[in-house]
Structure 1
Amino acid sequence: MEEKELLELLEAVKKGETNVQDAVLKLRQAPFEDMGFARPDTHRGLRQGAAEVIFGQGKTPEQNLMIAEKLLEKGQKSVLITRMSQEAANYFTDNKKKEIEFTYDSYCKIGIAGEQIDPEKGVGKIVIATGGTSDIPVAEEAGKTAEIMGNKVVRLYDVGVAGIHRLLEKHAMDEIMSANVIIAIAGMEGALASVVGGLADCPVIAVPTSVGYGASFGGLSALLSMLNSCASGVSVVNIDNGFGAGYLASMINKK
């Protein structure tokens, strides 16, 4: 149950549209569902303001489907599935209940079951900037995460330090200076986060990616650069963790 639904239930009791016993019964529903192989958190939306998300990697296609259907059955409007393989997405499409809407983006490996994203309904502004085109899969994971949580997302892709004038042109700077929070995503040496952090007056969430040649050590070089940023107001999430950045940005944007 989400906060809005709780308020509606209490209002219904107040107006006499629902009796106290029925309301208590609904509130007593277990805060998680024990499925044997998983225990999806059905009260997370009420407790934290953002509903349960499925990390698809490492789960079987059947498990992804069963967990998603259970969450929808318990009243969750939309279910975000991250790191979802094409195989799992195909299985989901072929075996889901007919009434469940489902979309899949193979580029960022994001699946969405249930109510779909309407970017026009987003609030505030989260700007996502990438160093290069190769960072876009991580950026889209962040963007879709933020959007499904009700945020407006503006994308500035391929504005890295190898051509810094792309970041400094008027349109990009206008977006940066009017953002509530910025997600800076880069591989290689990860310098974009420091540059953006030195320009913006809002929190910057840095996401190192595993993009780069051998000495980038699968994103470790970018991670260490971002952790050692001299720009104030820069925080760092794990390598390729677009989901974590999008979630954190949503929490900041909605305060």
Structure 2
Amino acid sequence: MDLKSILNKIKVNEMDLDAAEAQIRSMGYVPVSDIAKIDIFRKHRTGIMEAILAEGKDPGDVVEIAKAQISATGRVLITRLGDDHRQSLESHFRSEFIEWSLHRSAAVVHDGTPAPSTGGIVAIITAGTADIDVAEEARMVAHEMGCETIAIYDVGVAGFHRLVGEMQKIQEKKPDSIIVAAGREGTLPTVVSSLVDVPVIGLPVSTGYGAGAKGEAALLSMLQSCSVISVVNIDAGFVAGSFAARIANTVAEARKCNNL
């Protein structure tokens, strides 16, 4: 059903406004040649933004998809970038309109449109420096979904005193949700969850070697957590960031409604 048909049905009282809104939202995508259909209403429909997964895509196609999404929404998040993707983005967009993650695992390209701000707060913690790439993907997703982000990196249980020293940031900022990225034995999310009163999302990372290779040991350890956590797939930074941001945005909306 096209937009004109929907409007005609409303006009003759064959469709109410709620049904019309649902129908229009389901139509909301922008085709890019024959390679992609950008779901520009995904954020309104589900609360989770549309993003471009660069991994497995031709760099030129990533650029074309990015151009289309920027035209439709003003900003686009691109994840899992390789060197060839980064070079293509830098050659097609002005540098002041590209925001890179700390280790350039993700990027936001925009036309000057600012990131949204919801009032939600998400903390991102890593066990080791090797976990930062995946954590940065999660951080940028949460930021693009309107959340303030707090990064606390390299505080794994091999030196537990490092985490203790950083817990003051958590107490001061009072995040609405926390992502904890860890490889090897994946213990840190369980420890963090035992110390805080907000939801913790375990993000297993494919670091480590031997029996712990590819993040499988970290994933299984998190699934067996004694303290209550949620767990996403190995290296699933986008999923962790989206889930944490949805929690934080829901809490922020409740604060607004209750004038807290």
In structure 2, the CA distance between the partners of 1:29 and 1:163, relative to structure 1 (3 Å rule), is closer
Contact 2:25–2:45 at 8 Å: present in 1 too? no
Mapped partners of 1:203, 1:86: distance in 2:
35
Superposed displacement of residue 47, structure 1 = 1.4
5+ residue gaps, structure 1, are: 1-23
- Verify: 1:163 aligned to 2:159, yes or no: yes
Mapped partners of 1:50, 1:190: distance in 2:
27
Partner of 1:17: none
Q: Which portions of structure 1, spanning 4 or more consecutive aligned residues, are displaced by more than 4 angstroms?
A: 27-30, 115-122
Residues 188-243 of structure 1 deviation map (CA, whole Å, 9 limit, x = unaligned): 100001101111111000001111121103100000000010102x0000111111
Counterpart residue type for residue 82 of structure 1: T
Partner of 2:82: 85
In structure 2, the CA distance between the partners of 1:30 and 1:216, relative to structure 1 (3 Å rule), is same
Counterpart residue type for residue 230 of structure 1: C
- Verify: 1:54 aligned to 2:49, yes or no: no
Mapped partners of 1:100, 1:134: distance in 2:
28
SS at match of 1:206: strand
Q: What is the aligned residue count?
A: 226
Partner of 2:233: 238
Mapped partners of 1:116, 1:247: distance in 2:
23
SS at match of 2:50: coil
Partner of 1:95: 92
Q: 2:190 aligns with which of 190, 194, 213?
A: 194
Superposed displacement of residue 144, structure 1 = 1.2
5+ residue gaps, structure 2, are: 1-20, 251-260
Partner of 2:225: 229
* TM-score, with length taken from structure 2: 0.78
Contact 2:51–2:77 at 8 Å: present in 1 too? yes
In structure 2, the CA distance between the partners of 1:196 and 1:71, relative to structure 1 (3 Å rule), is same
- What percent identity do the matched residue pairs reach? 37
Q: How does 1:28-177 map to 2 (within 5 A)?
A: 30-34=27-31, 35-74=33-72, 76-96=73-93, 101-105=97-101, 107-115=103-111, 123-169=119-165, 171-175=166-170
Residues 5-41 of structure 1 deviation map (CA, whole Å, 9 limit, x = unaligned): xxxxxxxxxxxxxxxxxxx9xx699522233111111
Pairwise CA RMSD of aligned residues? 2.7
Superposed displacement of residue 106, structure 1 = 7.4
- Verify: 1:252 aligned to 2:250, yes or no: no
